Amino acid sequence: MERQSNRVVVSARDLAHISRCLASLVQNGNANCALLLDSSGQVVRSAGETEELDTTSLGALLAGNFGSAREIARLLKERSFTALFQQGEQASVYTHLVNDRWLLSVVFDRRTQVGLVKSLTHRSAAEIEKLLRKAPAGARAMEAVVSPEWRIAADQALTQALGGADSSLRSE
């Protein structure tokens, strides 16, 4: 993965590695699903039972949650909270901060033990952290994607998605 001034690029190779890591976490931890998010709440990858889950909204909420925790830490003069645990009657969520920039969240139920999930999540977080620290691999792929032609096509897609809204109504 690569952080640039205004974007993060995830290469196909990085994503394959992350996918394996998440799948292993779900399987070994007997969890429902696992998600890797960026700190804005965008889902990089998920694994496990996610078909019935609105992962887009879940990502936004988990990131908001962690953002709040960060501010609480600040008020308490704590550098950061590295993990959050939300316990429910049926479902629970354990979220771990990775590299101050990513969130690894695991959703699980009573089929497994909290301690096991925590332990495996820490291990997976460390593995993903190593991957994120490696040399960037996505820059060339990024340039190939976001070409001037791509931007024109994206503009058109935006207009179409908004039902053909015309910006000529701009006030001057």
Partner 1 sequence: MALVNVGAREIHCKIVYYGTGQSGKTTNLVRLHQDVPEPSRGDLLSIATEGERTLFFDFLPLDLGMVEGFQVRFHLYTVPGQPQYERTRVTVLSGVDGIVFVADSQRDRFRDNVVSLLEMRQVLEALGRPLERVPLVLQYNKRDLPGVVPVPILNARLNPYRAEYYEAVATSGRGVLETLRAIGKLVIAQL
Q: Is 13 in the site for partner 1 (CB under 8 A)?
A: yes
Q: Does 51 bind partner 1 (CB under 8 A)?
A: no
Q: Which x/- pattern, by CB under 8 A, does the window 152-171 give for partner 1?
A: -xxx-xxxxxxx-xxx-xxx
Among 22, 26, 41, 95, which residue interacts with partner 1 (rule: CB under 8 A)? 41
Instruction: Based on the shown chain and the rule CB under 8 A, indicate whether residue 138 belongs to the binding site for partner 1.
Output: yes
- Which DSSP string corresponds to 98-138? ETTTEEEEEEE-TTS-HHHHHHHHHHHHHHHHHHHHSPP--
8: which 2 tokens? Answer: 């993060």
Residues 91-120 that bind partner 1 (CB under 8 A): none
Sign of the four-CA dihedral 41, 22, 102, 151: negative
Q: Does the protein bind partner 1 through residue 7 (CB under 8 A)?
A: yes
5 CB-near residues (< 8 Å, 6+ apart) = none
For partner 1, the closer of residues 117 and 132 by Cβ is 132
